[in-house]
Structures are given as C-alpha cells and as structure tokens.
Chains A and B, each alone.
Chain A
C-alpha cells in the first residue's frame, strides 16, 4: 500500500510577526505535533467527499506578506476590526468602548494574559474531527482575544473583516477567541473576503466559550474569490443556560470547508445552527457540524440548506452526539438540498449517535429539484419560467437568510444570491 501523503514541512514554518512568548511556544508545540501529519484522503471518514478538492501545494505554505495598509473600503456600520492576511490592522479598526468588554490583538497581550490564552486555545475543538484547525494553531500570526465580563452587553454587532490579499501565492491564518462571561451578550460577525487572483489558502479558527447564561450570536459569511481555498473551524463550549446562535453563509470556491463543533456541557444550554450554502461552476463547499449533548436538559436545533448548480459539489455532514446520561435532550436536525444540475453533486450525512434513552432526536434530509407542480402553478398564472425558478429557489433559501439578525449581512447575502440565480437560470 502506498503511504498516505503527509503535510509538507513547508507548512510548519510560521511567518515573522511578533507575538508574546507563551503564544510562540504554543505555536511551535503545535507545529511539532503536526509534523508528518497524514493528509486526508478519500478513506478519511470526515474528508470522504472533500479530500479531492484539497490542494496543499508548497507555494501555499508561505505566509502572505503583511502590509500596513488602511484596510478595505467598507462602509461597516458600528464596531469593526480588520484583519489583513491574518494580521490585525489597528488603524482600520474601530473598537467598541463598552464597560466590561476587552478586545485585544494577540500581539498586544502581556505575558500573563498570553499564557492564559495559550492554555485555552484549541480547547473547544476536537483535533481529530477538525484536524486542519490545528494548522492554524501552528501558524497564526495574530488574533483577536475578546473578553466579556459578567453581565457585559455589547450594544451593536462587532464585525471582524478578514481580508486576504492574494497578491502572491500563500496563506493566512486569522484567529479569534471569545470568552463570554456570565450573562454577557455579544453578536460577532465574521466576514471573509479577498482581493487579487493568486491561489491562496485561508485557514481561520474561531473559538467561543460561554459561561452561565451567556448569549452569543455568531454570523459567518465566507465570500472570498475563486482563487481562495478556505479551511475554517469554529469551536463552541457552553455552560448552563447559555445560548449560542449561529448563522453561516457560504459561497463555493475551489475548496471551502467549515467545521462547526458545539459542546453543550451543562444543563439548560441550547444552540441553534443555521447554514446556507450556494455553489456553482466547479465550486465546492463542505460543512461539517458536530453537536455534543454532554449534559442533560439541553436543546439543539440545526437547519442547513445547500444549493448546487452546474458542476459544483456541496457536502453536508451533521452529527448529533448524545452522551450517556444526557437525558431529556432535544435535538433536531434538518438538511435540505437543491440539486439544480445533473453535473452537480450533493452528498449529505446526517448522523445520530445516542447513548441515553430519554431523548427526543430526529433528523431529516432531502435532495431534490424544484417542485414541478409549484413551477406549473406559477407558470399557469402568467409568471415566466425563469421568474418561477428564481422565486422558488429564493423561497428555498430565504427562510434561513431572513433569520440572520444583522441587516448588512442579509443584504450582502441577497446580492450574492441574486447574482447566483441570474447566472444559474440564464439559459433556462
């Protein structure tokens, strides 16, 4: 048997940005652990459908150059932080000044905070399930450490714009860690965008820890260019009665993947995960979610919708894991897929793993096309066919888009969806 290809050692050399010593130590430790890591293949269960899209060539290993530039010309309402190629740009950012909320870049942390953070990084993500998240820990050059004191409430969403400037081939490793104290509240919007056309890799990791009663809303928009491979991971750990609300919007690319792992660790914790994915051309997008019900009396609700057109490939893998003694758990998962073309492919695997008996768990998954009867209904009422297709496709996905609590993201998503529909139903 041919040995499986391993991660090129070129990926284990981080860039030259300065960081506090504890974080540098963590980084080199993670780098050592990654040496000779076998790359996922078709036989790697959680990369079964996506490994063929993953291309980690040595050119991608170089850290993208960091320029002290003014950041993207974005009219972002309210608070925002801008990352440029994985490194924060303070000049372009507008920090909130709210009591009890501390937002610091990794580079600015003092040693005691940095060692505290080094202890906590990676604690929310299972290394095996999200193996490439560890690459970020070996390579990050900066990051955002957000701490919310008990009862602190951020009045407006905080936007974190991660812009990748693909002026040359290379990679960027944005990193965010959010520590939400008791009964604190925050809405965090992550937007991933890109400039330039060189092939690049973005490896982004975001982690949340929610103390008792904390409420976190996370909005994640992955909308980079056709040249960007995106490997993202989000890890969440929830304590009693905390709530995590997630809205992920993904547009396809050469290789796009998002791992979302939520652990409900104490009673009363609950989460809602919504996701929308649209792929066209030869694009790919892979969503892997894991919800772990560790404690009794926790609820989870998950809804993901995929639309795949042309020769694109959309993948969904959702796992609900109810631990032993996590009685009275409620878990619901729904994954609906629209396959708009025979050249396209959709693969879905909604999994249940249950070790407790007094639980209510259900999942449903469908793959299909637009309903012929609905189209007929619209056409018979004078709506032209293309318009009917558009309406029904929008209806399929809008249910989730409308739930996104941040208006500007809703609008951006709408615009992108309109483009998608225009291109997809052009000849129809």
Chain B
C-alpha cells in the first residue's frame, strides 16, 4: 500500500498540463462595462447597426436583472466592472490570408495544445475554427465545406456576410433577457462560431472549435449559433483548455441550436478549463447557457458533455422539443476534484406530440468538491404521448465530497410518461479488492471502475473525443484514491 500511496501522492501533485501563457501583445480594453464599451466593441468589430441595437437592448435588460443565486455553488461575487470586455491578438493586417501569416507564437500555443491546425488538421480530418481569446484567427477546411454549401465561420463574419440568417436566428433560442449571464453575453459577446447547414445536406466532416482563454483578466464571452435546415445533419465538437491563472476568470458563453424539420445536430463538448489549484485558488467560472430549439418535426438534438475542468460550472444544455416527434438527448459526465463545484444538468421541455427525451447523467465527485445534477423535465398540455427517461448516477470518492440531485419533473399531459431514477454510491471495497487481488494497482482500478461507470456516455462521443475524454478522466482522477 505504501508504494501505491507514494504513486498516488505523486499523481496528486501533478500540475495542470495545459497551464501556460502565450506571450502575445493583446489589444485589450480597460476593465469596466458601460454603454460606451459596448459601442466601442461593436465599432471595432465593424458591426452593422442592428447588432449594436441588439447588444444595447441586452445590456439594458442585464442592468435590471439580479445575479441568480439558486445554484448549489458558493463563490465570491464577480465584479463585472473589473473585467475587460475585449481582447484580441495583435493583428498586422486586417485579415489573415493563410496560416503563414498567423503569429508563430500563436501557432506554438496550438501546437502545445495538440490542436490539429496545420497539416495535422488534414490528417485528423477536422476543420478547426480556432478561437484564440476573442477573435477567430484562422480557419481551415473551408473549401470542402463551401462545396457542400455549409457555412462555418466566425459569428463576427456571419454578421456581415449573412445578416439575414443572423437577424432571424440570433437570440431566437436564448432571448437577450433569458437569464443574467445570457443577457451579459448578448451585450458583450466577443466572437464565436456560426454554422448553417443548408437543406438536405449532411455535413461532410465533424466541425470543431477549440476555445482557449488567454490574456489575464479577460472575460470570454463566446456566442455560437448553429442552424440545421430541413433534412440536414451536423456533428459539432467543442473542446477547451486554459492556461494557469490565479485570478478567477469568468466565462459566460451562449450556444444556440436551431433544428428544423428532419434535421439533426450532435453537439459534443469536452471541457477542461483550469479548475483551480489544490487549495481551490483560481480557476475558471463557467456560466454557460446552451439551448436547442427543435422547431421542426422529427428533429433531433443530442448533447454530449464531459466536464472535468472549471472551478465553478453552471451549465444546463437544454432542448425545447416543439416539433412533433422531435427527440432530445443529454449524455453527461461531470467530474469534480479538489474544490471544484459543478451545478449542471439539462432541461427537456416537451411541447410537441410524440416527443421523447433521454437523460443520462454521471456525476463523479472527489476531494472536497461538490457536484450537483439539476434537471427539468416538463410536459406541456400538448405533449401527447411524450416520453422521458432519466437516469442520474453519482459516484463519490472520498468522504469530504458532496453529490446532489435536484430533478424537477412537471407533467400536464396524461398520456406523457416520465421515469426518473437516481442512485448514489462509492467505489466499493469489494470492487477494489477484486481488482487489487488480480494485481491491478489502486490507481488503475479506480480509473477502470470510473471508466466503466461513464461508459454509457463515452460511447456517444465522436471517436477522437472519446479517446481524449477517457484520458482526461484518468488524469483528473489521479490522486483521488489512497
């Protein structure tokens, strides 16, 4: 045991691998938020009038709102005036034409992160719209996408090139006044991805954006809008890492998915932002609003997430199942360690006939962390024969961590059926004994058991992500037994 203990201790001390800061001169606003900041932001981005109006409307709504305090998390108040609302890597030209023009420092950063951006992008077969801080720097694989008619570009570009789509759909799923953080995001969002899949198109590759928070004290306010038109399909990957920082960084993203008739969107996330150190110092505040509107009949949305990072996670990817026969899925693994806090789950709002949803949530808490599932399943009066199945399991590792389940179930239709079950358990001594007896060390045994616990979710991830997720879990868990 002494031997394992030593190994375990070594692993506990292992520092966050992706913690480094790229030294690039950033064009950064003074901290603070007011209407002028929003006007300047909008001007820098050369936005059309309607965007500025939209931002200001959101800002005014935000001013009237109170910060929500219902989540099961505990953190010092965020001073929104101490945050800088714009930061972009310094640009030599207005636009970058090819990878050669990209700042080599930046490329090095991506290299360290293992992002397949250069030729690796080709090998991996992934089109990467890499967001470095707030401005999309380089985008690859545009051609095959263009051939298919798929629009995949930074949202700041979409505002100019496709204003009709932006006007129609931006804020249609998450209105500007939806909640405190969504309103803030709508007012100051820096950039993000825009995807439009035309009618009948199956997106030829998996789309992917790597977010990365850099530059100290810069809040990151991403905005993603994905529209899947009739009979289309797209799989979208989102993954995150962030450099080590002592001060808490705020991240309030909004993701909107619009799914029309017979269309399908698969949205996968691996989130591994800096979770703070062993004493709970630092780390990212991750307050995200993600929502999908299944407007069309027979539409389908599937959210898969692996959450291992962030000091505080506050995130509920939701589906509004408006179209008849639409389907919503939510697969989640949330792992918390040290002093991390997570309050995450989903909302399935059934409005159309024969809508169905599945929720599989696996929460793992270790150390002194707190992990809560909070979900809503709602059947409106029109949700004839709707169906939901929910399973949330929690695994506790160590006697100072906490796991919670807060499922809200509301039904107004007698033909709708909902089933919810939840269990809480620990890695049992028997399981450990069985593994140890067969010569598997404690560390590996826990990793194996946890991987088994999460398998249902991992199998929903695209292959590249599944590998990454398994590794992530292993690294994050190391040091939690002993």
**Residues on A close to B: CB < 8 A?**
45, 49, 324-325, 327, 337, 339-369
Inter-chain CA distance A355–B418, complex, in Å, is 28
Alpha-carbon gap, A348 to B401, bound state (A):
26
Q: Which residues does chain B contribute within 8 Å of A349, judged by CB atoms?
A: 406-409
Partner of A354, one of B381, B396, B398, B414: B396
Contact between B420 and A354, CB atoms less than 8 A apart: no
Q: Evaluate contact between B415 and A342: CB separation under 8 angstroms.
A: yes
A45 cross-chain contacts in B, Cβ below 8 A: 70
Q: Is the CB of A366 within 8 A of B418?
A: yes
Residue B400 at the chain A interface, CB threshold 8 Å: yes
Please pick, from A347, A363, A366, the residue contacting B422 in the complex, using a CB distance under 8 A: A363
Report chain A residues within 8 Å CB of B430. none
> How far does the Cβ of B358 sit from chain A's closest Cβ, in whole Å?
15
Interchain CB contact under 8 A, B381 and A342: yes
In the bound complex, residues from chain B placing their C-beta under 8 Å from that of A324 are: 399-400
Evaluate contact between B418 and A368: CB separation under 8 angstroms: yes
Partner of B424, one of A342, A343, A350, A354: A354
Contact of B394 (CB < 8 Å), options: A342, A354, A367? A354
Check if B403 sits within 8 Å of A365, measured CB to CB.
no
- Give chain A residues whose Cβ lies under 8 Å from the Cβ of B397: 357
B3 at interface (Cβ–Cβ under 8 A)?
no
Residues of B within 8 A of A369 (CB): 414-415, 417
The listed residue with most A CB atoms (<10 A of its CB), out of B405, B411, B419, is B411
Contact of A366 among B70, B419, B423, B424 (CB under 8 A): B419
Q: List 5 A-B contacts (CB under 8 A).
A: A347-B411, A349-B409, A359-B426, A365-B419, A368-B419
Does B172 touch A at the CB level, under 8 Å? Answer: no
Cα distance A357–B400 when bound, in Å? 8
Q: Mark B231-271, 1 if CB is under 8 A from A, else 0.
A: 00000000000000000000000000000000000000000
Q: How far is the CA of A351 from the CA of B343 in the complex (A)?
A: 14
- A359-B424, A362-B424, A368-B418 given; A345·B402 CB < 8 A: no
Partner of A342 from the list B408, B413, B423 (CB cut-off 8 Å) is B413
Assuming the contacts A357-B397, A367-B417, asked whether A339 and B423 have C-beta atoms less than 8 A apart, the reply is: no
A362 adjacent to B399 (CB under 8 Å) = no
Residue of B405, B419, B422, B424 with most chain A CB atoms under a 10 A cut-off: B424
B81 CB-CB contact with A under 8 Å: no
B97 near A: Cβ within 8 Å?
Answer: no
Are B424 and A345 in contact (CB-based, < 8 A)? Answer: no
- Name the residue on B nearest A363 (C-beta): B422
| C-alpha gap A368/B419 in the complex (Å) | 8
The total number of A-B Cβ pairs within 8 Å is 114
Contact, CB under 8 Å: B422 / A345 = no
Complex Cα gap A360–B405 (Å): 14
Q: Which residue of A lies closest to B394 (CB)?
A: A354
Contact B399 A339 (CB under 8 A): no
Majority secondary structure, B binding face:
strand
Task: Say yes or no for B421: interface residue by CB 8 A criterion.
Answer: yes
B397 CB to closest chain A CB (Å) equals: 7
Bound: A301/B222 CA distance, A: 46
Candidates A49, A341, A364; contact of B420 at CB < 8 Å? A364
The CA of A265 and the CA of B418, in the complex, are separated in Å by: 35
Q: A342-B412, A352-B405, A355-B402 are in contact. Are A367 and B422 (CB under 8 A)?
A: no
Residues of chain A with a CB closer than 8 A to B403's CB: 352, 354
Docked CA distance A203–B6 (Å): 61
A358 to B70, CA, bound (A): 27
Q: Does B404 contact A (CB under 8 A)?
A: yes
B422 touching A350, Cβ below 8 Å: yes
Name the contact of A367 in the complex, choosing from B406, B409, B423 (C-beta under 8 A): B409
Q: Are A354 and B402 in contact (CB-based, < 8 A)? A: yes
Q: Decide if A357 touches B399 in the complex (CB within 8 Å).
A: yes
Bits for B382-401, please: 1 = Cβ < 8 Å to A, else 0.
Answer: 00000000000010111111
Verify B406–A351 contact, CB threshold 8 A.
yes
Q: Which A residues lie within 8 Å of B416 (CB)?
A: 339, 367-368
Shortest Cβ gap from B252 to chain A (Å): 22
Q: Is the CB of B421 within 8 A of A364?
A: yes
Is B407 a contact of A350 with CB atoms below 8 Å? yes
Residues of A contacting B35 in the complex (Cβ-Cβ under 8 angstroms): none
- Assess A347 versus B413: contact at CB under 8 Å? Given A352-B404, A354-B394, A359-B424: no
A348 to B406, CA, bound (A): 10
Supply 20 further A-B pairs (C-beta < 8 A) apart from A342-B414, A356-B396, A367-B409.
Answer: A324-B399, A344-B412, A348-B409, A348-B410, A349-B409, A350-B422, A351-B404, A352-B403, A352-B422, A354-B424, A356-B399, A357-B426, A359-B425, A361-B423, A363-B422, A365-B421, A367-B411, A367-B416, A369-B414, A369-B417
Please indicate the chain A residues that have their CB under 8 angstroms from the CB of B411 in the complex.
337, 339, 345-347, 367
The smallest beta-carbon distance between A2 and chain B, in angstroms, is 13
Contact B418 A367 (CB under 8 A): yes
Instruction: State whether A357 touches B401 (Cβ < 8 A).
Output: yes
A324, A327, A352, A360 interface centre (most CB from chain B within 10 Å): A352
A341-B401 contact, Cβ under 8 Å, with A45-B70, A349-B407: no
In the complex, what's the smallest C-beta–C-beta distance from B122 to chain A, in angstroms? 47
**B406 and A360 contacting across the interface, CB-CB below 8 Å:** no
List of B residues within 8 angstroms of A348 by Cβ: 409-410
Chain A residues contacting B406 (CB-CB under 8 Å) are 349, 351
The answer to whether B399 and A354 have CB atoms under 8 Å apart is: no
Would B422 and A357 count as touching, CB distance under 8 A?
Answer: no
Contacts of B419 in A (CB 8 A): 364-366, 368
Q: Would A366 and B420 be within 8 Å (CB), given that A344-B412, A351-B404 are in contact?
A: yes
Q: Which 10 A-B pairs have the closest CB atoms?
A: A357-B396, A352-B405, A368-B417, A361-B424, A365-B420, A367-B411, A357-B426, A364-B421, A339-B414, A347-B410
The residues of B that contact A346 with a CB separation of less than 8 Å are 409-411
Smallest CB separation, A306 vs chain B (Å): 11
Q: For the complex formed, measure the closest distance between the CB of A303 and the CB atoms of chain B, giving whole angstroms.
A: 15
Q: Give complex CA distance A222, B396 in Å.
A: 40
Docked pose: A6 CA to B407 CA in angstroms:
29
State the CA gap A369–B386 with chains docked (Å). Answer: 12
The distance from the CB of B103 to the nearest CB of chain A, in whole angstroms, is 48
Please measure, in the bound complex, the distance between the C-alpha atom of A28 and the C-alpha atom of B269, giving whole angstroms. Answer: 57
Task: Kindly report which residue of chain B lies nearest to residue A349, judged by CB atoms.
Answer: B408
Shortest CB-to-CB span from A370 to chain B, Å, is: 9
Contacts of B410 in A (CB 8 A): 49, 345-348
A376 to chain B, nearest CB (A): 16
Query: How far, in angstroms, from A369 to B383 measured CA to CA in the complex?
Result: 14
Q: What is the CA–CA distance of A368 and B385 in the complex, to the nearest angstrom? A: 10
Least distance between B371 CB and chain A CB atoms (Å): 10
Asked whether B409 lies within 8 Å of A347 as measured between CB atoms, the reply is yes
Taken together as a complex, chains A and B put the C-alpha atoms of A344 and B412 apart, in Å, by: 6
Judge whether B405 and A351 touch: CB under 8 Å: yes
- Find the A residue at minimum CB distance from B423: A362
